[in-house]
Amino acid sequence: MSVQFEEEQQLSRTPMQSSAKGITALLISWGFAKDEKSAQTILLITVVVCIVIIGAVWLFSPGRSQGPTNEELIQMQRREGV
């Protein structure tokens, strides 16, 4: 006994609807974000926090003070006899 079909059945896979790639996809897969929009929000907040930290470090770093001017250097060299 054999079974014959009149039409061939074709199974096709639809591509995944998610367009998340890269870091956003990682945040979603790790469970930090529910969707691509929330992952992008997390990344934006992270960038803003990093910029604020960099600005604070630059603004309050002790090495930011100005050194002697060229004229002061020339006067110091003349005093030392160089």
Predicted pLDDT of residue 16: 53
The pTM of this model reads 0.54
Q: How far is CA 24 from the centre of its chain?
A: 10
Predicted pLDDT of residue 72: 87
- pLDDT tens digits for the chain (82 residues)? 677 767 766 666 555 555 778 999 999 999 999 999 999 999 999 999 999 999 999 888 877 557 778 888 899 898 887 6
Give the residue among 13, 8, 33, 9 at the shortest CA–CA distance from 23.
Answer: 33
